[in-house]
Amino acid sequence: MVNSTVSYFILSTYLHVGSLKYFYFVLIALLYFSIAFMNTSLIVVICVNRSLHEPMYMFLCSLFVNELYGSTGLFPFLLIQILSDVHTVSAPLCFLQIFCLYTYGSVEFCNLAVMSYDRYLAICCPLQYRAHITNKKVVIFIALIWLYSFVKFIITLSLNLRLTLCGNIINSLYCQNYLVVKLACSDTKLNNLFGLFGTVLTVLVPLLPILYSYMKILRICFFGSKQMRRKAVSTCTPHLTSLLNFSFGCLFEILQSRFDMTSVPSVVRIFLSLYFLIIQPLFNPIMYGIQILILVKCKCLMLKLRQDSAVGDRKFGESKGQ
């Protein structure tokens, strides 16, 4: 049950932009439509195309689903707030948004961690790859990623709901767990302790396989053949770019919420707070979509060449028989 001391929160970061709010509304709506369209299209392509039913693309499918989930937790809320003159949000909706956005971040990071391990096996152990990463194991990995993130933040929210809040002004565009806890006038030691523990779990658990995988891949790059280095670079570049982009976005958000940023222009602060929630879901489908498109075209071309070769062999055999 949501704490009865506060029934709604006021979001104080929204700027009074007058008639420009319609411009921002259209801009945010276009961004949301683009993100939803691209991620949904790639999910459909991976599900329909049997040649993409491989571990790497199943992990990508999970990544695209998560980006749809995270975007839906933010964009409709932003669109309503932009058009509204009073920037308030009910307490239940606020806590629901916290849950959605924080689980989105955890699932994203864990998914990228498992993808790094998948890339390590594909590059360093290509002959044993199918034995290590079967479709059944991929499904188990994806289920564990989502379950781990959901359970962790259910505990976080349950601790928040027991707090007595003595304020309702959140200095942000959307609800954030840390800023809500700061409003409490009851004992927050347990929240802070579990928050620290949860942050360590959120960062350390995915970080360990990422570091391990890339140390092994770097070793291949330094001591392997030129062909192996080329394969490692082409395979890991999209994943590493996505990982760094998301990590920087999370770092921006941590700096924004934990430290005094009043000296920074408000437009910059707004951009930094939304970076990992907007750029990542927009960036990943573009980058991986190009990769998937090239792969599908190459496979279609190879299939056509095989068919042409089979037709040529059949005609040659018929002419030889005559």
| Interatomic CA distance for residues 234 and 239, integer angstroms | 10
Looking at residue 165, what DSSP letter applies?
B
Domain ranges of the chain: 8-321
pLDDT along the chain (322 residues), means of 10: 68 74 89 94 90 88 94 92 86 92 92 92 85 89 94 88 85 86 84 81 86 86 75 81 86 72 73 85 89 74 64 57 56
Model pTM score: 0.87
Residue 16 pLDDT = 65
CB 93 within 8 A of CB 74: no
Residue 309 pLDDT = 63
Residue 29 pLDDT = 94
Q: Which one of 1.10.8.350, 1.20.1070.10, 1.10.340.30, 1.10.3260.10 gives the CATH number of domain 8-321?
A: 1.20.1070.10
Dihedral angle sign, alpha carbons of residues 278, 279, 284, 290: positive
| Interatomic CA distance for residues 243 and 316, integer angstroms | 52
Residue 312 pLDDT = 55
Distances, alpha carbon 314 to alpha carbons 119, 311, 322, in Å: 40, 5, 12
Residue 322 pLDDT = 56
